[in-house]
Structure 1
Amino acid sequence: MTQARPRKTVFGLLPWPERQAVAEALRTETVGGLVLLAAAVVALLWANSPWSAAYESIRDFHVGIPALGLDLSVGHWTSDGLLAVFFLVAGIELKRELVVGELRTPATAALPVIAALCGMAVPAALYTLTATAGGGSLDGWAVPMATDIAFALAVLAVISTHLPSALRAFLLTLAVVDDLGAILIIAIFFTGDLDFRALGGAFAGLALFYALQRLRVRGWWWYVPLGVAIWALMYHSGVHATVAGVAMGLILRTTLDSGEERSPGARVAHLVHPFSAGVAVPLFALFAAGVALSGDALAKVFTDPEPLAVFVGLVAGKILGVFLGTYAAVRFTRARLNPDLAWADVFGLAVLAGIGFTVALLLGELSFTDPAQIEHVKAAVLLGSVTAAVLAAVLLRRRNRVYRRLWEEENRDDDADGIPDVYQSGTRPGGPR
């Protein structure tokens, strides 16, 4: 008689190297998320204050770089320029996940990928249904599809939960796959009239970037000027310039050569991630989240079909998509939920995934051309993200006693050797087995 294969435990203990990598990434994202929250609050207060004219004047002020043929407003520099740095880091994180992380094997990739795909498809479908029912435009179908990992982690920091590392890693991987989906959507659906010479130059630059990596060439003086040139060529090609960032991130090597302590991808992420999380994304939020929240503007969120569809997509679509996708992935595979957790924990995580913010604001700017409509859609993104954050805070705080116990068991180090006891022989969360 053939013995049945053991069922895989979902949201169980992470391998120690994976947990260390996740912890480092989440630490920077959490700090950056708090700065992001502060920047969004400043933007809203400034845009709704007597000094709102100064805010608009700074946002719309043009700064040019003649050598690159660029003349952009401050707002566009933050969305097209600084967000390219954010997508560079996203590309490195995606490459790491594909090579050494949760996405390296089909078995471990199935759960976050299915959850992320459902978490993108269901919001887009709900947007389409809501906008169609109200006679509105379908142009904003992509807006509610993204999860803002920094904002989500900032919410966790503010409410002081002790979410187990496996749940945090799932949220991070979900956001990485989400970012990839957003990048593909931007590249495919938000490309203007193509300049094939500029696009060819950008691809040539990426090929040179790849060759330098393969030849193990070191030195920032090679890569920084080349990266700026690739970004500028991508901008002029008609493809959104942020695509250049993720392309370079995916090219950077994430495997270790003999004698290396860190791969090039890890070194760049270590250097650039703090700037991305603490400067680039908050500055984008500062000039993108400054929405005039008058009574009429807030009413438009629930009366105009497009903003209402965005709100419904973020709050209802993201929750349903991530939760049902996770449930289906577990139910229809040889997996079981960690016995220390409940489906209520997964639901709370799905609610947290409804925080769209950064990429949703960018997609809102790309999806519509009417300034008034863009403002209303941004208001919907802000309201939807705040609603999801409040609901998640309520749900996750109710289970914080369970999370605290699991967190303490995961981090107990009685022998003070720097490695939690749970990773030593004979112990597992909940005590010896």
Structure 2
Amino acid sequence: MATPPPTPTRRQFLGRLSLPERTYLADALRTETVGGILLLLAAAAALLWANLWPGSYDSVREWTIGPSAPLHLDLSLDAWAKDGLLAIFFFVAGIELKREFVAGELRNPRAAMLPVVAAVCGVALPAIVYTLANAGPGGHPTGWAIPTATDIAFALGVLAVVGSHLPSALRAFLLTLAVVDDLIAILIIAVFYSSGIKFWALGLSLAGLVLFWFLHRHGVRGWYLYVPLAFLIWALMHESGVHATVSGVAMGLILRCHKVGDEKVSPGEHIEHLVRPLSAGFAVPVFALFAAGVAITGPALGEVFTQATPLGIVLGLLVGKTVGIFCGTWLAARFTRAELNPQLKWADLFAVATLAGIGFTVSLLISDLAFPDDPELADRAKAAVLVGSLLCALVATVLLKLRNRHYQQLVDEENLDSDGDGIPDVYQQTAL
């Protein structure tokens, strides 16, 4: 009698991370958490400054600095923050994405399916919700991309403030989701919000990227070479009409993120370790200081819930992101036969999906890009981003707090090191 073929085992979703991946995640999220708290403080400072002393806030934002020739870099501080400092943020995002593809969750196509589908659905549904809200008279469909972004730093800042002990598997899913989300965001910016392309500048910028790749590929070292080259690539990209932050992602993707020989860390991971504090602790908070200062009055808040554009943004973040991410993940898990970690519930993923509805940094950037000729509408869009992100943070806080005691037990089990050798006991038990 023929032996029946073995039943294929179901892959576990949100299972325990490998020890190297867990160590990397802890280091990365520690920096992002501090940056998230600074981001919250910067946003609060911007709101206070803009509402208490609006004249000085606007004058500082519009203060111009930089040379006009030959690449028209005489920019306002606001523009330097949007185009310059956020290039550092997207540079780190590019390294994160490259690392995810070669060493993280995205290296395995089956494992990558869930966060990728979740991210795509978490971009598509908010855009659909916004478009539906702005389909009638008085709507502004060009802002469809505003509610599509997830801000990992803001989300982690909320977790730190409310004291939620989220297990590492859920944090890893949130980070991977945000990395893919950042890639989609930069593609949206490059395709839909670039105009008046100057091909000579774009060609020179691409040539600079080739030189950047060549030097890195042949092991040439020295920050004094790469920093000026990176600035030149950025300046040429800015002059070309393609949004300058695209250059940051491109350079991040060029870096090698796999180890060779006896390397303890890859060059990409080493550079990310050096630049991430600059991005999370300075670049993003300063951008928030110049971007989040909008007038908060009774009528202005009323417009958020009565006008099509801001209402579409709020609904896109709170409903579109949450439902899109959760349903996309559930469907992908069902069709790939992935089995949820028995220590977690789908309600936990729904709470994380709500947390991912916090769209701050990139959403504020796209608010300016979507309405370049209407500053008042851009400000209303930014107010809606703030309100929508705050609502997502409040709902996620409630949902996470309901399970916080269980999360605390899981985190304690993950961190237990009874023999003090620096390796959590759960990994040694697995090895045995």
TM bin (shorter chain): over 0.9
SS at match of 1:139: helix
Q: Is the 8 A contact 2:88 2:279 kept in 1?
A: yes
Please tell me whether residue 7 in structure 1 is matched to residue 16 in structure 2. no
Q: Distance in 1 between matches of 2:389 and 2:280?
A: 18
Please tell me whether residue 423 in structure 1 is matched to residue 427 in structure 2. yes
Q: Is the 8 A contact 2:32 2:280 kept in 1?
A: yes
| Matched residue, 2:27 | 24
Work out which of the residue numbers 393, 406, 415 in structure 1 matches 2:397. 393
How far apart are 1:297 and its partner, in Å? 1.2
Q: Distance in 1 between matches of 2:377 and 2:430?
A: 60
1:218-268: CA deviations, max 9, x gaps? Answer: 111111110000000000000000000000000011112223232221121
| Matched residue, 1:178 | 181
Please tell me whether residue 363 in structure 1 is matched to residue 382 in structure 2. no
Q: Distance in 2 between matches of 1:182 and 1:318?
A: 14
How far apart are 1:187 and its partner, in Å? 0.5
Are the structure 2 counterparts of residues 58 and 135 from structure 1 closer, same or farther at C-alpha, using a change threshold of 3 Å? Answer: closer
Q: Distance in 2 between matches of 1:98 and 1:262?
A: 16
Q: Where in structure 2 are the equivalents of 1:30-179 lying within 5 Å?
A: 30-49=33-52, 51-66=53-68, 68-133=71-136, 135-179=138-182
How far apart are 1:133 and its partner, in Å? 4.0
Q: Is the 8 A contact 2:304 2:383 kept in 1?
A: yes
AA aligned opposite 1:111? L
Q: Distance in 2 between matches of 1:334 and 1:209?
A: 42
1:44-95: CA deviations, max 9, x gaps? Answer: 011110x221111101111122454311100000000000000000000000
Q: Is the 8 A contact 2:201 2:236 kept in 1?
A: yes
How far apart are 1:426 and its partner, in Å? 4.6
Q: Which moved more, 1:226-235 or 1:8-17?
A: 8-17
TM-score normalised by structure 1 residue count = 0.97
Q: Distance in 1 between matches of 2:361 and 2:114?
A: 24
Q: Distance in 2 between matches of 1:102 and 1:155?
A: 24
SS at match of 2:339: strand
AA aligned opposite 2:40? L
Q: Distance in 2 between matches of 1:46 and 1:241?
A: 28
How far apart are 1:6 and its partner, in Å? 1.1
1:311-368: CA deviations, max 9, x gaps? Answer: 1101110010001011111112221111111111011001001100100000111001
AA aligned opposite 1:188? V
How far apart are 1:182 and its partner, in Å? 0.3
Are the structure 2 counterparts of residues 391 and 263 from structure 1 closer, same or farther at C-alpha, using a change threshold of 3 Å? Answer: same
AA aligned opposite 2:403? R
How far apart are 1:124 and its partner, in Å? 0.4
Work out which of the residue numbers 346, 349, 352 in structure 1 matches 2:349. 346
Q: Distance in 2 between matches of 1:66 and 1:374?
A: 26
| Matched residue, 1:314 | 317
Q: Is the 8 A contact 2:110 2:336 kept in 1?
A: no
Q: Is the 8 A contact 1:348 1:396 kept in 2?
A: yes
Q: Distance in 1 between matches of 2:291 and 2:18?
A: 39
How far apart are 1:137 and its partner, in Å? 1.5
Q: Where in structure 2 are the equivalents of 1:253-268 lying within 5 Å?
A: 253-268=256-271
AA aligned opposite 2:150? T
| Matched residue, 2:307 | 304
Structure 1 residues not aligned, in runs of 5+: none
Please tell me whether residue 378 in structure 1 is matched to residue 370 in structure 2. no
Q: Is the 8 A contact 1:134 1:305 kept in 2?
A: no
SS at match of 1:9: strand
Q: Distance in 1 between matches of 2:308 and 2:300?
A: 13
| Matched residue, 1:403 | 407
SS at match of 2:106: coil
Please tell me whether residue 242 in structure 1 is matched to residue 245 in structure 2. yes
Q: Is the 8 A contact 2:66 2:74 kept in 1?
A: yes
How far apart are 1:134 and its partner, in Å? 5.5
Q: Distance in 1 between matches of 2:249 and 2:37?
A: 24
| Matched residue, 1:208 | 211
AA aligned opposite 1:54? S
AA aligned opposite 2:177? L
**Size of the alignment, in residue pairs?**
427
Work out which of the residue numbers 221, 227, 230 in structure 1 matches 2:230. 227
Aligned CA RMSD, in angstroms, stands at 1.2
Work out which of the residue numbers 316, 322, 326 in structure 2 matches 1:323. 326
